[in-house]
Structure formats: structure tokens, C-alpha cells
Structure 1
Amino acid sequence: MEAQNPQQGQIIEISVDVPDGERPIGGSRVCGEAPCGFSDAGTGSTSARERAASMRKLLTVVVLCVIFMGVEVAGGIKANSLAILTDAAHLLSDVAAFAISLFSLWAAGWEATPRQSYGFFRIEILGALVSIQLIWLLTGIIVYEAIVRLINDSGEVEGFLMFLVAAFGLLVNIIMALLLGHDHVLATTINMLRSILEVLMESTPREIDATQLEKGLLDMEEVVAIHELHIWAITVGKVLLACHVKVTPEANADMVLNNVINYIKREYNISHVTIQIER
């Protein structure tokens, strides 16, 4: 908790990524004269283990994708099958996406710096945007090739070879689905793109009703008004909030701060909160 110039107001910044008292200042990276709020966001032993497990899964999937992509490219050319080559192109986009995710998980463990005070979490969002653009580019190329084949009537394929490659592909995809879970399979590029743009535009996350949150704060005793309420995310699941809380002249500032923080943490589970008390 940091108080600055009581005559101008009181500022508090609290991170609720871990329970209070478990994050000593000595273990944080210092930005200027104050510890960076996101300097050790990924250095906890539990987070490190989860990140390492995810990286192992992604690395396994990348290897599987690269091997099968080579099989599909060779089989697709041999069988003259645009369908198999299409799946190979899709696998290329998957490899890019998984590789970016792998790098993002690695980068998430980097400490925040005075220049990158929020850390490197947004690399994941930028990587996902690049991955989606790659998917659309490959889709355009495949559609063009399909139109050319229809016009030139050159679509004869070797059915048996195509069947063998496709059957092998089904097996590989089942393995990847088991490794990654269904969320990766169900996500669509349109929904992903919408989420990416919302993060980059620093929109209020969809799961949080800013109007209801403000109303809840205004219902508290000794709270007169809420100003400069901002809720945004640096990446999916890493939500931040900042606002000014105007209180009555006789209000106990520390009590109001604690009530506001507890309400936001309890009702909305927001990970990083900055509150300024005004009179």
C-alpha cells in the first residue's frame, strides 16, 4: 500500500495475483524507486510449473505438426489432392500459432523492466493476431488454387493415397486434441480476432459490467462519486482497474480503500487495482 501526499489524495496500488503477504518486496524487480507490479507475475513456483507443463505440451504438438505437415505436403503433391494440401497449409498456420504461444509462455516469465513495466504478456495477443493473418492469407491462396483447378479441370486425385494420408491426419489431430483440450479446437478466428482487438483497444473486458461495478462502489458508505474509472486487460485474463473515489470530508480513507479493494476483488476478481481517494 503506497500513500502519496495526503493533501492531494491517497493512492493505493494492490496486486491480487497471490494472497497478501506472500510477495516480499525483496523478490521484486524495482522500476525506479518502486517495485514493478508485474515484475514477478510469472515467477511463483506454481505458475512456473504450469508454464513449464504447457510449454512441454506445445513443444510436443509442434513436433507432431511439423512431421505430419511434411507427410501431407508430400502426399498431397503425389496424390494431386488440394484437400490434403489445404490441411497442410492449415497445419502450417497451427505450427506458427503454437510456436508463437510457446514463445509467449516463455516470455511471460520475463521480469518487468522500467521500460516494459507491464511485462511481456501482450506478446501472446500480438502473436495470435499474426497467426490469424497467416490463416487468412493461406485460405486466400487455397481458394485461388481451387478456382484455377475448376477452370482448368485438373482435379483428378489418387483416392487411396489421399485416404491413407487423411486417416493418418485424423490420428494426429486426435492426439493434439487430447494434449491441448477442446478449447483450442472450438475457437474460431473471428472470435479470436474480436478478443484481440478488444485487448489492443483496451476495451472493458466483456465479462465485467463497468456500470454495475461503479454502482456497487457508489452504494458504499462515505463514497460520494466515482471518477476516471478504467478497466482494461493487458492480455486475456490479466485485467487491471484504476479509478478515483471521492469520499465525504469526514470519511476514514483507509477504511474506504479497504472496502473498495475487497469489493472489486470479491465480486470481479480483478488482478491489479489502482485507487485514488479524493475529498
Structure 2
Amino acid sequence: MAQDQEHTHEHSHAPTVSGKNEHKVLLSFILIFTFMIVEVIGGLVSGSLALLADAGHMLTDAAALALAYVAFRLGRKAADSRRTFGYLRFEVIAGFINALTLFAIVVWIINEAWRRFQEPHDILAGPMLGVAIVGLLVNIIVFWILTRGDSEHVNIKGAALHVMGDLLGSVGAISAAVIIYYTGWSPIDPILSVVVSLLILRSAWRLLRESLHILLEGAPADADPAAIERHLIQSVAGVESVSHIHVWLITSGKAMATLHVRPKADYDASSVVSKVEQELKSHFDIEHVTVATDWRSSNEDCSLTQSQETD
């Protein structure tokens, strides 16, 4: 049995982090943090739960954006002997923390809304409306900034989801202010706060699921091992079999893979490996591939996937 490692290209294991993401996250943080202070004052003066809930959300927005900025800065650090893939996983951790904070926000809003139903508060609709309108404009600007360019990055997506929830909160606050101004019906304030919190909950679950999937070394949705095996056997001439396939995401949009390929007897092994790498890059967008040529007569189970029995 012989097994030769084939890796015909050289590149860093740590993908590049765009400086544009850093700049737009920093600018968004400054805008959100500045208006958060204004909204806290407005919520206290007007007595509006919708404004205070939105201010609380903006506080976590500011924290999330600050965390995202720090994660991007760490992600730019070069790989070293102890962290050969660099520090990009910090970006995914930031997205995971963002999702957890969104869940915490929802719990706080619902609890506060229940208290408001039991003990209604007087609300000044005029100041509430003015602050809510300005808040909507700020959130629209920040959301526009965050969704320019690399908007699918899990860290950018996490920050954008925070701001989207804030934007919806501003819409809810405006609606509540208008209704209170014309009808005096104050329960609309906590009711709309709960509606907004449910919208936030949906976004939080999606972000939590995506970031946790990456942290658990999950495969991209369109690049599971079975699909890779079928495609390589059908598309690459000279591939006899494919085994021991492991594919995972190091961070959002950065897939890695290792696999064993057994070339057919009358094909050049290095040529087959090169074609396999090219096919994985072009068809599955896997940018870092390690291929081992395998000449064994039978494939043994991989120690990472075979079932383990305990006494």
C-alpha cells in the first residue's frame, strides 16, 4: 500500500479579510451608538416602551458592531504556527454571540410589555414620534451601508440583522406614536413591541443556526460529501473512486476539503489530482483542497466517521 500526498498549489490557509468590511462596520457603529443615546433620552422623556426597547436593541447593535469590528481586525492577523488557518473563526464567534444577544433582547421586550399591560404608562406621543422618525432614518442609512458589497458574510449579516430589527422597531414606534396621538390608546405601544420582538426572533434563529453550523465544522449546503463523490466520479476522467471526504467552512464563504482519490491504472496520478482540485474549486467553490492519492485495493472506514462502540 502506498499513499502519496498531492497538493499542487501553494497559498495561505488563512483567507483574506476585506478592509471595506471593517470601514463600514466602524462607520455603522458610530452612527448607531450616537443615536442610541438620543433614543434613550427620548424613551425616558416620552415614557414609550417601544422607544426604550428600540434603544435597548440599539445598545446591542452597537456592541455587536464593535464586536464585529474587533473580529475583522483579528481576522486580518497572519496565520502562525499555532493557528495555521489564521483568526477568521473569530468572525463566526461574533455572529454566534450576536444571535444570542438577539434572543436576550426578545425576552426583555416581552417581559417589559407584560409589565406595561398590567400597569399602563402615560406616553407623550409627540416626542415619541419625532425620535422614532429620526431613528428610522438612521437605521435606513446604517442598513444601506452594511448591505453594500459583501453582505453575505456571516459577521456582516449578523450586524445587518440587528439593524433590520432596529429598523422594524422604529417603524413600530412610529405607528404606535401615531395611534396614541389620535386615539390615546396606550396599549398599542407594548403590543407593537411584542410584534417587533417576534420578527427579531425569526432572524435570530436563522443567524444562530448558520453560525453554529460553521462552528461545528458543517459542510456548505451544496457541497456535502455524497454530492462531491458523485460529481468527481462522473466529471473527472481517471477517477476510480473517492473516499474519506471531509468538507467544512472555516468562516462564511470559505470552504475547505480533504479527500482520498484513487486514480485509474492508466492515468497519471498528478494530472488526476490537479483536475480534482480544479473541479472542486469551479463547481463547489472550495478554495483549499488537500487530495491524497490512494492505491489501496479497498477503502477502510475513516476514523472520524465510523461508529464507535463502547464496552
**C-alpha contact (below 8 Å) 1:62/1:99 kept by paired residues:** yes
The match for 2:218 is: 203
Deviation of 1:209 after TM superposition, in Å, equals 4.5
Paired-residue identity, %: 28
Give per-residue Cα distances to partners, 1:71-129, cap 9 Å, x unaligned.
11111011111000011111112112211211121112101111111111110111111
The match for 1:30 is: none
Q: 1:14 to 1:110 in 2, by over 3 A?
A: farther
Deviation of 1:248 after TM superposition, in Å, equals 3.3
The match for 2:168 is: none
Matched, 1:240 2:256: yes
- 2:86 is matched with which residue: 84, 94, 119? 119
Aligned-partner residue type, residue 121 of structure 2:
G
Larger fraction in helix: 2
Structural mapping, 1:208-247, within 5 Å: 208-219=223-234, 220-247=236-263
- 1:278 is matched with which residue: 275, 280, 294? 294
Output the aligned Cα RMSD.
Answer: 2.0
Equivalent pairs, count: 245
- 2:97 is matched with which residue: 120, 126, 130? 130
Structural mapping, 1:246-261, within 5 Å: 246-261=262-277
Structural mapping, 1:1-279, within 5 Å: 8-13=2-7, 37-39=12-14, 41-42=15-16, 51-152=18-119, 154-181=120-147, 183=151, 184-185=160-161, 188-219=203-234, 220-279=236-295
Aligned counterparts of 2:73 and 2:232: Cα–Cα separation in 1: 38
Aligned counterparts of 2:134 and 2:141: Cα–Cα separation in 1: 11
TM-score (norm 1): 0.81
Deviation of 1:249 after TM superposition, in Å, equals 4.0
TM-score (norm 2): 0.73
**C-alpha contact (below 8 Å) 2:224/2:247 kept by paired residues:** no
Which structure 2 residue ranges, 5 or more long, are not aligned? 152-159, 165-201, 296-311
Which structure 1 residue ranges, 5 or more long, are not aligned? 1-6, 24-36
Deviation of 1:170 after TM superposition, in Å, equals 1.2
